[in-house]
Amino acid sequence: MKQYLANVQGVDGYLIFSMIVFMSFFIGLLFWVLKADKKYIDKMKNIPLN
Amino acid sequence: MQIEKFNYDNKIVRDFALATLIFGVVGMLVGLLAAIQLYEPAANLGNQYTSFGRIRPLHTNAIIFAFVGNAIFMGIYYSLQRLCKARMFSDVLSRIHFWGWQLIIALAAVSLLLGYTTGKEYAELEWPIDIMIALVWVTFGINMIGTIVKRREKQMYVAIWFYIATLVTVAVLHIVNSLELPISLTKSYSIYAGVQDALVQWWYGHNAVAFFLTTPFLGMMYYFLPKAAGRPVYSYKLSILHFWSLIFLYIWAGPHHLLYSSLPDWAQSLGVAFSIMLIAPSWGGMVNGLLTLRGAWDKVRDEPILKMFAVGITAYGMATFEGPLLSLKNVNAIAHFIDWIVGHVHVGALGWNGLLTFAIIYWIIPRIYNTTIYSKKLMNVHFWLATLGIVFYAIPMYWSGFTQGLMWKEFTPEGTLQYPEFLKITLKILPLHMLRSFGGALYLSGFLVLIYNVVKTIRQGKLVANEAAEAPAIEKSMGHGSEFWHAILERKPITFTVLAILVIVVGGAVELIPTFTIKSNIPTIASVKPYTPLELQGRDIYQREGCNTCHTQWIRPFRSETERYMGEYSKAGEFVYDHPFLWGSKRTGPDLMRIGGKYPDSWHYHHMIDPRTMSPGSIMPQYSWLAEQDLDISTTPKKLKAMKTLGVPYTEYEIDNGNVSLKVQADAITANLKKEGIVMESQKELVAVIAYLQRMGTDIKKQTTASN
């Protein structure tokens, strides 16, 4: 029974943990990308065509 | 600023391109043969080397690692040099990489036909080849990172990140999944057992799709599509977002291959959640690709290369929408084990990998031969043959999948199965399988058109083995305060690589570690005992013949399955001695988890010699050679000892007397057969297979009898 409970808790704990990790990663990423310098982005875009 | 002159190595690109063509034909022909075997058992050609269980892994390995693999190297060697404005780091490493990879392919083909297999999908190759793969991969890695380090373009374009992610992740996946204990040069046991083995395998299998069939192609899309369209990618910001979320999410989603299995619940939920979230970055990539073509649709209409890109990217979008859908538990309940999955995979392989590969070949070949394509008309013919091939492949598979999935589950109003006879359902879908092989043949014929066109193009041009180029040397000055963080990262390939490794290792660890550390995740069952020596040998033959390519050993907790397979659903504790797990992933034949004791030995004897005597119309291959070949019992002590090392509780006495007890059990089976008028010597392989089949899934029944 104890083992069973531990497993059930594991489900939530794991999901919440991994969601938090991903979300913080993603929000940080989004923040930085939105801040990106337009000149830099344009330059990068054109690298294959140069 | 100083302008430097250098050469691009086009010869290595050409070599990989030719290998792509050769192995494309081989892989597709073998696939066609396998498809025909599924409605015409005579196409197994009556010998062990070409029977379905061995041909199927040959097909998947040839397509993934030989055809697509060489195509990836072709695309990377071409685009990386140009994006870095530098020749490949070392010509010697390039050659070692090329010939090493082709050698691996040759060895793989021979060993798979001989039945040397680890039994793990897309990782079937035995340990010596695994080591070679690791070495050649490292060669490729040094060559690639070396080129990036000595580049003349300050920033790393998005394509290069995808290449780096591919490089590091495939290395990690390959090593973790291939950990095995060798018995001999051609045989090993996975160090993981049962549920753990399944989890590691599908973590690998899923991410092989992600990092071998997806990321390198996204990288190539980001280079070749703007090139072919003559315009930059739609949104560079989107590509940053899409890259990091894709590699982050993919690595967690593997358990969706194991829903309703005996995998712990938390792992299943994790797999589902991350699979659904994967739609976002996948579609980010698709949208970015398709929108690159916005306002250029007139160009798309008369440029077959762009048409191939457009359809290929759309196929990617379809497959990556379907994937998360398939991982929803209630969809998966029907979709798993059926032809829908085969359809899904081929939309990806034929549509995304195939069409992009073709487009890139059509782009590269005339350029490195300094000419134009021999015939644009034939390119169009190819485009249509390929597209129609995909349609004729996919639609019959979806149709047959749904038919199959629904018939398996259908009950009468009285509450019994509507179609208790498995074979009846199989026979019903055979016409659809015939149609599928027609689709495959169309696709292959299109590929032959490409080969003709390419050969003609090569004849009319001349290889520019070393293409002259020039670029300013890179400036040494780095950073001035408020620079965009990603720009800094892009100048530091090593840091970038480490970061990418970190992202995938964290995801991988979260997914894998708990099953390794928490013992309670796998409740043990007291009545489950290790296999006897004879059963163990039989199991290895089961693995060698690839029975698991058609049969699952995994009864899900649905009434339709416990009813059909006459027993309890599969428990994690039943697999603790299974190195490797042999759950299978496709039910072309019925599940065998509870086959033990279902039929008398004689039934199996007749069925294995010729399945159609016991099951008229069966599409199972015959295995008559098992009754002719002697079992190699010299390996018994070594196998038992290896199992003991891996934690299977054999005693010293059992190991030392392995062959004695093997003989006793074999004699008992032949005596049993003799009562039914069948004469067979007890040293034949078939005896071991029968012993294994009769044992399968029976231990748990002893427990119920004991407690009653």
Beta strand B180-184 pairing with B466-472: unpaired
Smallest Cα–Cα separation from B77: which of B61, B58, B104, B101? B101
Same domain, B423 and B550: no
ipTM above 0.85, yes or no: no
Position A17 pLDDT exceeds 90: no
Please count the CA atoms within 13 angstroms of the CA of B488 that sit on its side-chain side. Answer: 10
The whole-number average pLDDT for the span B339-367 is 97
Report if residue B525 sits inside a domain: no
Please count the CA atoms within 13 angstroms of the CA of B499 that sit on its side-chain side. Answer: 14
Measured between alpha carbons, how far is B485 from B155 in angstroms, rounded to an integer?
12
pLDDT at residue B239, rounded to an integer: 92
The answer to whether residue A16 neighbours chain B at the CB level (below 8 Å) is no
Same domain, B156 and B65: yes
Smallest Cα–Cα separation from B23: which of B106, B94, B93? B106
**What is the domain-level CATH number for residue B597?**
1.10.760.10
Helix pair angle (B339-346, B376-409), 10° resolution: 160
Position B675 pLDDT exceeds 90: yes
Contact B520 A6 (CB under 8 A): yes
> What is the domain extent for residue B657?
533-695
pLDDT at residue B14, rounded to an integer: 98
Measured between alpha carbons, how far is residue B435 from residues B5, B51, B400, B401 in Å? 55, 21, 10, 14
Least confident of B31-40, B355-364, B485-494, B549-558: B485-494
pLDDT band, very low/low/confident/very high, at B272 (cuts 50, 70, 90) = confident
Residue with tokens 């045989």: B187
Same domain, B122 and B51: yes
Position B695 pLDDT exceeds 60: yes
Smallest Cα–Cα separation from B394: which of B448, B445, B356, B340? B340
pLDDT band, very low/low/confident/very high, at B268 (cuts 50, 70, 90) = confident
pLDDT at residue A8, rounded to an integer: 44
Least confident of B141-145, B506-510, B678-682: B506-510
Least confident of B18-22, B232-236, B507-511, B517-521: B517-521
Same domain, B170 and B253: yes
The answer to whether residue A23 neighbours chain B at the CB level (below 8 Å) is no
What digits encode the pLDDT tens for the residues B614-655? 999 999 999 999 999 999 999 999 999 999 999 999 999 999
Q: What is the mean pLDDT of chain B?
A: 92
pLDDT at residue B475, rounded to an integer: 67
Least confident of A26-30, B115-119, B129-133: A26-30
Which residues, other chains included, contact B537 with Cβ-Cβ below 8 Å and sequence gap of 6+?
B631, B633, B635, B636, B639, B662, B688, B692
What digits encode the pLDDT tens for the residues B586-608? 999 999 999 999 999 999 999 99
The whole-number average pLDDT for the span A14-25 is 77
pLDDT at residue B483, rounded to an integer: 60
Q: What is the DSSP string of B184-207?
A: ETTEEEESS-HHHHHHHHHHHHHH
Q: Cis omega (within 30 of 0) on the bond before B41?
A: no
Same domain, B443 and B573: no
Report if residue B519 sits inside a domain: no
Measured between alpha carbons, how far is B198 from B205 in angstroms, rounded to an integer?
10
What digits encode the pLDDT tens for the residues B131-154? 999 999 999 999 999 999 889 988
| Local structure of A50: helix, strand or coil | coil
Measured between alpha carbons, how far is B425 from B406 in angstroms, rounded to an integer?
10
Position B264 pLDDT exceeds 80: no
Q: What DSSP element (H or E) covers B5?
A: strand B3-9
Same domain, B577 and B675: yes
Tell me phi and psi for residue B317, to 5 degrees.
-60, -40
Report if residue B471 sits inside a domain: no
Is the four-CA dihedral B487, B493, B495, B501 of positive or negative sign?
Answer: positive
Measured between alpha carbons, how far is B49 from B66 in angstroms, rounded to an integer?
20
Same domain, B562 and B448: no
Nearest residue, CB atoms, B232 vs list A29, A33, A49: A49
* Tokens matching residue B125: 């190759």
A6 → chain B, closest CA residue: B520
pLDDT band, very low/low/confident/very high, at A21 (cuts 50, 70, 90) = confident
DSSP symbol at B520? G
**What is the domain-level CATH number for residue B98?**
1.20.210.10
pLDDT band, very low/low/confident/very high, at B101 (cuts 50, 70, 90) = very high
Measured between alpha carbons, how far is residue B82 from residues A37, B85, B275 in Å? 25, 5, 35
Cβ pair B337, B331 in contact under 8 A: no
Report if residue B156 sits inside a domain: yes
Position B469 pLDDT exceeds 70: yes
Smallest Cα–Cα separation from B512: which of B263, B343, B244? B263
Contact A34 B237 (CB under 8 A): yes
pLDDT band, very low/low/confident/very high, at B692 (cuts 50, 70, 90) = very high
Position B477 pLDDT exceeds 70: no
Cβ pair B448, B381 in contact under 8 A: no
The whole-number average pLDDT for the span B116-134 is 96
Smallest Cα–Cα separation from B572: which of B524, B539, B529? B524
Sequence letter at residue A6: A
* Helix/strand number for chain B, H first, E second: 30, 4
The whole-number average pLDDT for the span B352-377 is 97
Which residues, other chains included, contact B633 with Cβ-Cβ below 8 Å and sequence gap of 6+?
B537, B659, B662, B683
A42 → chain B, closest CA residue: B236
Position A2 pLDDT exceeds 50: no
Same domain, B30 and B149: yes
Is the four-CA dihedral B28, B31, B35, B41 of positive or negative sign?
Answer: positive
* Tokens matching residue B343: 């359809």
Contact list in B for residue A46 (CB cut-off 8 A) is: 232
Least confident of B186-200, B366-380, B385-399: B186-200
Report if residue B270 sits inside a domain: yes
Measured between alpha carbons, how far is B580 from B542 in angstroms, rounded to an integer?
12
Report if residue B507 sits inside a domain: no
The whole-number average pLDDT for the span B487-515 is 76
Position A9 pLDDT exceeds 70: no
Strands (E), B402-525: 466-472
Same domain, B236 and B345: yes
Position B374 pLDDT exceeds 90: yes
Interface of B with A (CB under 8 A): 79, 82-83, 153, 155, 157-159, 222-223, 226-227, 230-233, 236-237, 240-241, 244-245, 248-249, 252, 264-266, 269-270, 273-274, 277, 484-487, 506, 510, 514, 518, 520-521, 523
Position B234 pLDDT exceeds 90: yes
CB pairs under 8 A between A and B: 97
Number of domains in chain B: 2
Residue with tokens 């480490």: B498
Residue of A1, A34, A39, A44 to mutate for B, most B C-beta atoms under 10 A: A44
Contact B273 A3 (CB under 8 A): no
Sequence letter at residue B625: W
Contact B520 A3 (CB under 8 A): yes
CA angle B92/B93/B94 to nearest 5° reads 90
pLDDT at residue B141, rounded to an integer: 96
Position A12 pLDDT exceeds 70: no
Report if residue B508 sits inside a domain: no
What digits encode the pLDDT tens for the residues B419-452? 999 999 999 999 999 999 999 999 999 999 999 9
Contact B266 A11 (CB under 8 A): yes
Position B705 pLDDT exceeds 60: no
Q: Which residue has better confidence, B559 or B522?
A: B559
* Tokens matching residue B112: 């798979």
The region that residue B115 occupies, defined by phi over 0 for left and psi between -120 and 50 for alpha, beta otherwise, is left
Same domain, B162 and B105: yes
Cβ pair B79, B40 in contact under 8 A: no
Nearest residue, CB atoms, B265 vs list A11, A13, A49: A11
The whole-number average pLDDT for the span B185-198 is 92
Same domain, B643 and B599: yes
Report if residue B454 sits inside a domain: yes
Same domain, B286 and B432: yes
Measured between alpha carbons, how far is B67 from A32 in angstroms, rounded to an integer?
39
Beta strand B187-190 pairing with B180-184: antiparallel
| Local structure of B524: helix, strand or coil | coil
Q: Which residue has better confidence, B65 or B324?
A: B65
Cβ pair B542, B696 in contact under 8 A: no
The whole-number average pLDDT for the span B16-26 is 98
Measured between alpha carbons, how far is B100 from B200 in angstroms, rounded to an integer?
27
The whole-number average pLDDT for the span B324-333 is 88
Position A6 pLDDT exceeds 50: no
Measured between alpha carbons, how far is B604 from B620 in angstroms, rounded to an integer?
13
pLDDT at residue B485, rounded to an integer: 64
